[in-house]
Chains A and B, each alone.
Chain A
Amino acid sequence: MPDYNLSYFYVFVFFAVGAFVVGALMTVSRIIAPRRPTPEKLRPYESGEEPIGQAWGRYPIHFYVFALLFVVFDVEVIFLFPWAVIFASLGWYGIVEMGVFIAILVVGLVYAWKKDALSWY
């Protein structure tokens, strides 16, 4: 069983290795691959149409609603991780505690459902 520092050194090394592998693949590809750019090749691909304007613009709001709902549920979920580890020792107290927490958030989910915010148009 390796100790804490060594464990996270592994994690750090693996992140570095991941980045390094991508870099190495790109470098090899750059060395052996041909490079003959033409104006047509460098145009954004739009199924053969002439692109009109750039893609960077304004986008519909429902993406944002889902992202916000996700943040709320994600915060809920991270509380579940430590709770799941010790809930057996907490007994009924832990069940009630988490039950209240989840119930309050489920109210939000039901509200979103009733307001039709969960539908994707």
Chain B
Amino acid sequence: MDFIAPLIFVILAAIVVAGGLAVVLLPRITGSALSMGLSFLGMAGLFALLGAETIAFFQVLIYVGAITVLILYGVMLTGVAPAGADRRLFFQKQAGWALVPLKFVGVVATVFALSFQSNVVQQPGGDLEPLANAVFRDYAFPFEVASVLLLAAMIGAIALVKRGDD
């Protein structure tokens, strides 16, 4: 049965990579946003494979269910790119092509330089209670600060959106 986990890893990784490629390569930006959802879903699968079931379904709930829809709505506000937008983006594109290999090398080097080894990958009782204890006992203050961050995001969005006429 030992071949199953690597096989599933390959399938999930393929989904993540395919989603990522589609984000970059699809002609319409809405399509890109949707492909990102696919990529997030593959990522959730990878979390589940690592034994972090709670994180995996948080990933699905937040990223697939909420962030993707948010980005989709954001994208739909922008409308179709005007003609000639490609030319204006020319230098950005070249810079992008130059930076991508650099970043790729950086990530690969980091992965090989650090060793991601931990003794306990899968907790016997699931990762829900360890996670809960970590958030609510050990890191209670960061948790409270997170709510201020969320509040700032919410008020910022409302302030930006609110029309001045009423």
Contact = CB atoms under 8 A, between A and B. Distances in A.
A70 to B, nearest CB: 6
B154 A112 contact: yes
Contact of A75 (B62, B76, B155, B158): B62
Interface in A65-121: 65, 67-72, 74-76, 78-79, 81-83, 85-86, 90, 94, 97, 100-101, 104-105, 107-108, 111-112, 115-117
A30 interface: no
B120 interface: no
Chain A binding site: helix, strand, loop or mixed by DSSP?
A: helix
Contact of A74 (B28, B61, B126): B61
Nearest to A57: B79
Chain B binding site: helix, strand, loop or mixed by DSSP?
A: helix
Interface in B1-36: 4-5, 8, 28, 30
Given A85-B128, A86-B132, A12 B79 contact: no
- B contact residues, range: 35 or more
Interface of A: 4-5, 8-9, 11-12, 56-59, 61-65, 67-72, 74-76, 78-79, 81-83, 85-86, 90, 94, 97, 100-101, 104-105, 107-108, 111-112, 115-117
Given A71-B67, A82-B132, A97-B144, 9 more contacts: A4-B126, A8-B53, A12-B8, A58-B76, A59-B73, A72-B150, A74-B66, A75-B62, A104-B151
